Chain A
Amino acid sequence: MAIGISYIISLLILFGIYAIFALGLNLEWGFTGILNFGHVAFFGIGAYSTVILNQMGVPIYIAIVAGIIIAGLFGVLVALPAMRLRGDYFAIVTIGFSEIVRYFMLNEEWLTGGPLGLRDFDIPLSFVPSQYYNIAMLILVLALLALTYLILKALINSPWGRVLKSIREDEDVSKALGKNVFRYKIQSIALGSAIAGLAGILLAFNHKYLNPNYYMPLITFYAWIIVILGGSGNNKGTILGALIFWTFMSLTRFSPGYLPISSTDLGALRMVIIGLLLIVLMMYKPEGLLGNKEELKLDI
């Protein structure tokens, strides 16, 4: 059963990383109503910034902090011009931005290593003996997930968080009350993107490797499915959503041995089920598992 345990540990690490990633999106979408379809861009920017800085000689812990800040700054950079747009336009612009980022990673080999990606960078916890490394990584990821959750909880229950929710419910009312809606939205996307950056950095450490293919637009949709399944605007729901999502992903990854089906076919069927789940949720339970139907209005 040793393989089983190490498999569960690696599953839990991925769950933790994607839960952090999705919490960033939930802040933007669930609490502020921002339709960010380029979340994966910040996931990638955080990871690449940290690794590139580290390869330039910056100590890894400083590079991590810098990577998180750079991801947040890029969030501001995109949102400053784009936030003036309607929600659906914002979605298209952000998805376009995330693809530009991916093309940049693929093409600018001098900086990003191109399609081969980047390896040979420092990894935190490298003092841990290799047979315990995964457990140490899991503890780190879960600790950071807990930290992110607690910080977000404190922020959302603060006056700042209540303004965000009021923007989600009705921007005009918040404006009429004298709130600078634009600034709050920028702050929300900056923080959400920084959280995505942190998750991306953790993913790079987990794989000990970086590659532009980790940043396909599909990854953004993973985060959306996690958030919607759990219930938009509910951080516990997001964590539950991430757990269900990764359990489903890995159970179906397990099965090739038991089912008469190739792994390409299985991968395709898995995405069909995820797509159907999204459709069914939107049609019959748009508030998700733990979302508040009264509070959450999907259409703003």
Chain B
Amino acid sequence: MIQQLIFGIVTGSIIALGAIGLSMIYDILDLVNFAHGDFMTLGAYLTFLFNVSLNLNLILAAALGIILTGVISLILDKIMWKKLRDKGAGSITLLITAIGLALVIRNLIVFQWGGSNVGFDLPLSQNLNFHGIMISTSGVLTVVVAALLMIALDLILRKTKIGKAMRALSDNKNLARITGINVDNIILWTWGIGTSFAAVGGVLYGLNTVIRPDMGWFLLLPIFAAVILGGIGNPYGAMVGGLIIGISQEMSTIILPSSYKIAVSFVILILVMLIKPEGIFGEK
């Protein structure tokens, strides 16, 4: 029971890192980013590239992989999303485009690195054992990194000009525009932060398990559940939602076959949408 809870917190931290970006992008760009999970995968593979193929140490490789993923999302905004925005494309056009992008990213990864599992170059790590409860060092690292990033995001949102502008844009787009906020600039920040957080989540997922081309796709649906649970556009809600989804998925293995884990998050997702579609922290 406590063991499942611990697994749940680790999984939940990864889901939360994905959910923050998805939620912000959903809100500020009106885009249901079906490619968001694939950015997580991309972050993990780019880190793998620097770490294993180019022999850099893991921390440096992760930093490069995560930054590069963020930069790619900015380039994609320039060549795709901005053009669609300027044409006045609505949310359904954007959603279908995102599905196309997801197919492109995932399959370029398969093309480059093959369809089988890969892993980082890691020293063999010892599991910590507290009276029969196992905690892996990568699990501890995951929770610590996720918590630090969330604190950092909170500071950005509350203390910096960019963060305040983001919140203003999220509250009321038209009002934010007429007060002279540079919307294009904020959108780039949203992509950069959202996607690099996703990449961190992808790298941490790779540390805890393996790296696979379809990992982001399978993370995406629990992430949607976390975003909707927390209320779209609410990064704090996304964090809590991620933890709730992660813990419920792992706890469900006590009574259900573990292959139903992801189905559990769908059921939560569907229930929230039907009962309180604005999310548990959202206001109508």
Contacts and interface: CB of A to CB of B under 8 A. Distances in A.
A283 B84 contact: yes
B95 interface: yes
Chain A interface residue bracket vs B = 35 or more
A246 B269 CA distance: 35
Interface string B127-146: 00000000000000000000
B96 A271 contact: no
A86 to B, nearest CB: 8
B14 interface: no
A170 B267 CA distance: 31
Contacts of B270: 81-82, 93, 96-97
Contacts of B110: 264-265, 267-268, 271
A298 B259 CA distance: 37
19 contacts: A85-B274, A91-B95, A92-B228, A97-B270, A100-B267, A104-B263, A107-B257, A265-B110, A267-B110, A268-B108, A270-B107, A271-B110, A275-B102, A282-B84, A282-B96, A283-B80, A298-B89, A299-B89, A299-B92
Interface in B202-234: 217, 221, 224-225, 228
B97 A283 contact: yes
A88 interface: yes
Contacts of B267: 100
Nearest to B110: A268
Nearest to B256: A107
Contacts, number: 131
B221 A283 contact: no
Contacts of A267: 110
Given A96-B269, A268-B110, A283-B84, A103 B262 contact: yes
A217 B46 CA distance: 26
A299 B90 contact: yes
A282 B114 contact: no
A224 to B, nearest CB: 7
Given A82-B273, A283-B80, 8 more contacts: A88-B95, A92-B269, A93-B273, A96-B224, A100-B263, A221-B99, A278-B100, A300-B92
A88 B97 contact: no
A36 B60 CA distance: 43
B45 to A, nearest CB: 13
Nearest to A262: B114
Give the top 3 A-B pairs by smallest Cβ distance, nearest first.
A299-B90, A278-B100, A275-B103
Nearest to B218: A99
A269 B111 contact: yes
Given A99-B262, A100-B263, A103-B262, A88 B104 contact: no
Interface string A59-77: 0000000000000000000
Interface in B81-109: 83-84, 87, 89-93, 95-97, 99-104, 106-108
A298 B273 contact: no
B259 A282 contact: no
Interface string A234-267: 0000000000000000000000000000001101
Nearest to A228: B96
B266 A272 contact: no
Interface of B: 32, 80, 83-84, 87, 89-93, 95-97, 99-104, 106-108, 110-111, 114-115, 217, 221, 224-225, 228, 257, 259-260, 262-263, 266-267, 269-270, 273-274, 277
A109 to B, nearest CB: 11
A89 B277 contact: yes
B80 A100 contact: no
Contacts of A278: 96-97, 99-100, 103
Contact of B100 (A35, A91, A275, A298): A275
A135 interface: no
Nearest to B222: A96
A88 B224 CA distance: 11
Nearest to A78: B270
B100 A282 contact: yes
A107 B103 contact: no
B105 to A, nearest CB: 8
Which of B100, B263, B277 lies at the interface centre, i.e. has the most chain A CB atoms within 10 A of its CB? B100
Which of B103, B106, B225, B277 lies at the interface centre, i.e. has the most chain A CB atoms within 10 A of its CB? B103
Given A81-B274, A264-B114, A299-B93, A224 B99 contact: yes
A82 B273 CA distance: 8
Which of B80, B84, B110 lies at the interface centre, i.e. has the most chain A CB atoms within 10 A of its CB? B110
